Amino acid sequence: MKHVAGILAFGHHLRRLRRARKLTQEALADYAEISRPTVQRMEKGQAAPTLEVLLSLAQVLQVPLRDLVDAPGIVPQE
């Protein structure tokens, strides 16, 4: 992985958003039409989402795509 810290930061951010909406990993996976292990791996920073998955997650979590991917630590500072 090229940007491990960013992937870990995304995972933490995803978990916070999911919990704020009182969704289980299973519910998020079902609504986003992905597997629960995929959600689990993303939250642990073990997998990076594809654009298709990001769009689906943003829709389910009811946040703009930018808010999903633009959190501290996700995008490296130049």
Residue 15 is assigned to a structural domain of this protein: yes
pLDDT of residue 1: 46
End-to-end alpha carbon distance in the chain:
19
Is the separation of the CB atoms in 47 and 41 below 8 Å? yes
pTM of the full predicted structure?
0.89
What pLDDT, on the 0 to 100 scale, is given for residue 5? Answer: 86
Residues 6 or more apart from 73 whose CB is under 8 A from it? Answer: 5, 6, 8, 9, 12
Domain membership of residue 23 (yes or no) is: yes
The 3-state DSSP composition of the chain as helix, strand, coil percent (nearest 5) reads 65, 0, 35
Question: For 4-52, what is each residue's pLDDT tens digit?
Answer: 888 999 999 999 999 999 999 999 999 999 999 999 999 999 999 999 9
pLDDT of 78 over the 60 cut: no
Number of domains in the chain: 1
CATH of residue 30: 1.10.260.40
Distance CA 6, CA 45 (A): 9
